[in-house]
Structure 1
Amino acid sequence: MIQNEKVTAGQNIPYIAGITLIATLGGLLFGYDTAVISGAEQSVQKYLITGQGLSTWIHGITISSALIGCIIGGAISGLLASRLGRKRTLIVAAVLFFLSALGSGYPEFLFFEEGRPTMGLLYMFNFYRIIGGIGVGLASAVCPVYIGELAPANLRGRLVSLNQFAIIFGMLVVYFVNWGIASGQSVDWLDQVGWRRMFLSEAIPAGLFGILLFFVPESPRYLSMVNKDKEALKILTKVNGSTAAKQIFADIKNTVEHHSGKLWSYGKTVIIIGILLSVFQQFVGINVALYYAPRIFQSMGAGTDASMLQTVVMGVVNVFFTVVAILTVDKWGRKPLLIVGSIGMAIGMFAISALSYFEIIGISTLVFIIIYTASFMMSWGPICWVLISEIFPNKIRGKAVAVAVAAQWAANYFISATYPSMMEFSGAFTYGFYGVMSVLSLLFVWKMVPETKGKSLEEMEALWTKNTPMASEAAFRSNKTRV
């Protein structure tokens, strides 16, 4: 039986930290790849969209095309993680990041002439962005699962939250990179050369991630599921110490051996909660602020350099409040942070909606954007990933996380692709919609999301097996044995 008191003696903290830091490079690349477009999107629009007389709808689709890959990557992440393992799936993601960086920076490679935008070149650019998106989808699903499956229960919230910190740090890094590339340069230079360097810069962290992954172990829970028990116990021992490792290993084997692994076998509730966590994380509109940040600040009257600098300021604030989440998630719990974050996001978005309606543009807009993003970063940003990595039972985790992450990226694509068209209709309506979604996210967490603070991954099964046919059958067998 799993003990409620978490054993901390014997935990190899330096080893755990090293593995986590390498794994979170996948999160850094997730953030880097999704935010690099913020500095390049206006140049890409001029080069590939406006130059061919294409619509804002095509612009929105192109800027969000990586999200198509994210949906694909998220959808296949469960299959790859189950067939290849967590570690090798992350290596595949690293290769895709590297290829996307090179191809997005120079989409004319082999087939097209530089300086002559065509529909074929537009398709090729989108292809490379989709390739990177598949890498993001894989990393977004597998990195938190990998960290969660290795981390001790008493540290899991903070360690999985570090992945979100890495995502936000990756965004901050690329904001600085984009600002550095754009600083002091003419608009013409940015439209011809600068945007290419922004994409190409991603090849450096992608290559580093791929190399370092060869030095980390496979997840012990995955090894146990493929009957590599000796290796699994060895890693658990190195992480947790001998005494705790034996207990954890016994619990893992019990959950793996006594369950079919069918997606719905723990009931529909846990799957629905996972999907809705993912959908609400995107429907509150966070990626609109991240992808279109320079454009939003320029609409407030800032020049190109100033808008890039204001984006950096926003990135610094995001990093700070992600640290707040890391320091509090295992103390305050998941639900309180999500509820407080939803309140802050609603205040920020409704205020921006009102300012937009009255056409008030100035420092107040920047303040409420920061209130909104800070609220997200201390709550829904990291905590959503923590919950997705821990609410699903061992046997269905790969499949269930794949479903939840695919839903998240589908929601992300819908919100990001519709933003330009919605803004053409009404800025007040657009931001008001995100405010309403923030309120609904609060009600969802309050009514449906369980608190998982301090529970082992195996203990989480008790939340979902009470009313399932599997639980009834187990109870029947237990009673029969007593008789």
Structure 2
Amino acid sequence: MSIAIPFFQQTTGINLISFYAPMLFLTIGSGVSASLMSSVIVGTAGTIMTVLSLLIVDKVGRRAIFHIGGIQILVPQLIIGGIMAAKLGDHGTLSQGYSISVLILMCIYSIGFSLSWGPLAWLVTSEIFPLEIRSAGQSINVATSFLINFVFAQTFLTMLCHFKAAIFFFFAMWAVLMTGFIYVLVPETKDVPLEKMEKIWKEH
């Protein structure tokens, strides 16, 4: 869990947004100012949803929010990939209508990540370990997150050059896998005291 959860958090494709959003918007035909403003809009939407997630997580439950977020990450990636594959090509630009649609879809994607995998990947891994191994588990969690983040930061531009629009389908595949992983393997920890976490795992 301390390896898989942070690994899946990074394979949501959030690196597309956090590192290369201005470049992506330039690629689809937006000007420099519009690209930077689009990145600010996407980031602001994500920040607002992170706060909301922390307010509702104890009422809705961790697994439910993971599932909602997984769908909200998957669907925009598929649609954006489809738009860019069909309308952009290798050297084209998108019309203003399609550019706005991509911006809205990226906001929806950012909201889905910020509602679920953004904060919950840290929250759940801080809850699920028995007290005896919590510090070791969290250390592995942080190290894995930084390592995968580093790998994507170093390889993303090369992946984008080779995959082109299919980069969105690549990350969409991971969204399916990580949502299935939560559904099958991660127990619900809502309202479970840390002292009883070992019992939850035995029953699960």
Alignment TM-score > 0.5, same fold: yes
1:333 aligns with 2:61: yes
Normalised to the residue count of structure 2, the TM-score between the two structures is 0.89
Name the residue aligned to 1:410: 147
1:345 aligns with 2:82: no
Provide the secondary structure at the position in 2 that maps to 1:321.
Answer: helix
Provide the secondary structure at the position in 1 that maps to 2:29.
Answer: coil
CA distance in 2, matches of 1:312, 1:428: 23
Name the residue aligned to 2:10: 282
Name the residue aligned to 1:134: none
CA distance in 2, matches of 1:337, 1:315: 20
Name the residue aligned to 1:433: 170
Does the C-alpha gap of structure 1 residues 295 and 403 become closer, same or farther in structure 2, counting only changes over 3 Å? same
Matches within 5 A, 1:57-206: none
RMSD: 1.6
Provide the secondary structure at the position in 1 that maps to 2:87.
Answer: coil
1:397 aligns with 2:134: yes
Paired residue for 2:103, among 345, 360, 366? 366
1:355 aligns with 2:83: yes
Provide the secondary structure at the position in 1 that maps to 2:141.
Answer: helix
RCO greater where, 1 or 2, for CA within 8 Å and sep 6 or more? 2
CA distance in 2, matches of 1:355, 1:301: 13
- Provide structure 2 residue ranges, at least 5 long, that are not aligned to the other structure: 89-93
Residue identity in the other structure for 1:322: T
Residue identity in the other structure for 1:311: S
Name the residue aligned to 2:193: 456
Normalised to the residue count of structure 1, the TM-score between the two structures is 0.39
CA distance in 1, matches of 2:131, 2:54: 24
Residue identity in the other structure for 1:433: F
Residue identity in the other structure for 2:138: V
Give 4+ residue runs of structure 1 displaced > 6 Å after superposition. Answer: none
Paired residue for 1:317, among 45, 60, 64? 45
Does the 8 Å CA contact 1:341/1:376 hold for their aligned counterparts?
yes
Q: How far off is 1:389 after superposition? A: 1.0
Q: How far off is 1:452 after superposition? A: 0.6
Does the C-alpha gap of structure 1 residues 443 and 466 become closer, same or farther in structure 2, counting only changes over 3 Å? closer
Name the residue aligned to 1:301: 29
CA distance in 1, matches of 2:87, 2:14: 22
Q: How far off is 1:463 after superposition? A: 2.5
Q: How far off is 1:320 after superposition? A: 1.9
Name the residue aligned to 1:160: none
CA deviations on 1:310-344 (whole Å, 9 max, x unpaired) are: 11111211122112212210000000000011011
CA distance in 2, matches of 1:382, 1:437: 18
CA distance in 1, matches of 2:33, 2:101: 20
Does the C-alpha gap of structure 1 residues 419 and 359 become closer, same or farther in structure 2, counting only changes over 3 Å? farther
Does the 8 Å CA contact 1:288/1:415 hold for their aligned counterparts?
no
CA distance in 2, matches of 1:325, 1:387: 13
CA distance in 2, matches of 1:339, 1:293: 25
CA distance in 2, matches of 1:308, 1:365: 14
CA deviations on 1:129-178 (whole Å, 9 max, x unpaired) are: xxxxxxxxxxxxxxxxxxxxxxxxxxxxxxxxxxxxxxxxxxxxxxxxxx
Residue identity in the other structure for 1:345: I
CA distance in 1, matches of 2:35, 2:85: 22
CA deviations on 1:287-321 (whole Å, 9 max, x unpaired) are: 22111111112222222222222111112111221
Radius of gyration: which is bigger? 1
Identity of aligned residues (%): 34
Q: How many residues align?
A: 195
CA distance in 2, matches of 1:320, 1:370: 11
Paired residue for 1:424, among 152, 161, 172? 161
Residue identity in the other structure for 1:354: G
Does the 8 Å CA contact 1:423/1:430 hold for their aligned counterparts?
yes
CA distance in 2, matches of 1:397, 1:325: 23
CA distance in 2, matches of 1:367, 1:464: 40
Residue identity in the other structure for 1:325: S
Provide the secondary structure at the position in 2 that maps to 1:423.
Answer: helix
Name the residue aligned to 1:443: 180
Does the 8 Å CA contact 1:275/1:404 hold for their aligned counterparts?
yes
Q: How far off is 1:418 after superposition? A: 1.6
CA distance in 2, matches of 1:359, 1:461: 52
